[in-house]
Structure 1
């Protein structure tokens, strides 16, 4: 199921990547739950609290830079549609599987990364999926973006009116 997301999005970034909040470089270098290595992605959340949980999933809170975007993203796959997720060969447990990194190391690609690669090939700009970070619940929502920028179908604008990030 495809939807259009319009609204604000939040990211809690490692300060190493804070000067490039539009790059998706960290996810591209290391791979993420919903992007294989080599594929840039922006992992954003619909709330500040969810963004902070996502960025600090291991141990104590680490230094973090919080950014906000204005977004209008068309062609977003809605993972809340479990019929559509099942048609792709997954279920909620496989979306939430904490062993995705182990899968990536042993087989080269986690099942959720394969799912993302197939969605990208079908023309999706992103994925709306609940957060699986510790302490999150069904109302904690993420948008994983594979295409973003200035185009009408995947517009993402960093809110930095005072040019604080240079």
Structure 2
């Protein structure tokens, strides 16, 4: 699929000066990226971005940013048929033990899916949010490839240079 529009991200202030880096995800791994693979976890709404960034405990200091995106190809993980094509179910995407799986097996099943999608040339994946309080309408795009040029173009919205 092709996604064109705004995306949002609620950053830990440590990464606020590098909102396009993906470095935190690369260092620690995430649900949809193994350690060593950079990723940007973005959301289609501001509230989803805030939920994603503050999944443990009380709201912590957060820097909210927006991106103008023109991205393809994006794998649509909200499409159960497309997921089945990769041998994955929606329940497997939602499994909350991915960190345990990563610790025990080196990589979680969702991270293995991400690696397959990357090999197949996808820049990212549209997937529902699994953060506390999220509904099926809360959607994320996880990116593994992005830059200043098509086909995976992502530009920080910062006309006033506040993060520079």
User: TM tier, shorter chain?
Assistant: over 0.9
In structure 2, the residue matched to 1:37 is 35
- Aligned equivalent of 2:4, options 3, 6, 20: 6
- Aligned equivalent of 1:55, options 53, 71, 76: 53
Q: Which whole-Å CA distance do the structure 2 matches of 1:13 and 1:31 have between them?
A: 16
In structure 2, the residue matched to 1:76 is 74
In structure 2, the residue matched to 1:160 is 158
**TM-score, scaled to structure 2:** 0.99
Shift, 1:151, TM fit: 1.9
Q: Which whole-Å CA distance do the structure 1 matches of 2:65 and 2:108 have between them?
A: 28
* Superposition CA RMSD, Å: 0.5
Q: 3-state SS of the aligned residue for 1:72?
A: strand
In structure 2, the residue matched to 1:131 is 129
1:80-136 CA-to-partner distances (Å, cap 9, x unmatched) read 111111121211111011100000000000000000000000000000000010000
Q: Which whole-Å CA distance do the structure 2 matches of 1:151 and 1:68 have between them?
A: 17
Give the unaligned 5+ runs of structure 2.
none
Q: 3-state SS of the aligned residue for 2:107?
A: coil
Give the unaligned 5+ runs of structure 1.
none
- The aligned length equals 164
**TM-score, scaled to structure 1:** 0.98
Q: Which whole-Å CA distance do the structure 1 matches of 2:73 and 2:150 have between them?
A: 11
Q: Which whole-Å CA distance do the structure 2 matches of 1:145 and 1:5 have between them?
A: 12
Q: 3-state SS of the aligned residue for 1:68?
A: strand
Q: Which whole-Å CA distance do the structure 1 matches of 2:88 and 2:18 have between them?
A: 33
- Aligned equivalent of 2:143, options 145, 148, 164: 145
Q: Which whole-Å CA distance do the structure 1 matches of 2:150 and 2:84 have between them?
A: 30
Q: 3-state SS of the aligned residue for 2:2?
A: strand
- The runs of at least 4 consecutive aligned structure 1 residues that moved more than 6 Å come to none
- Aligned equivalent of 1:101, options 80, 83, 99: 99
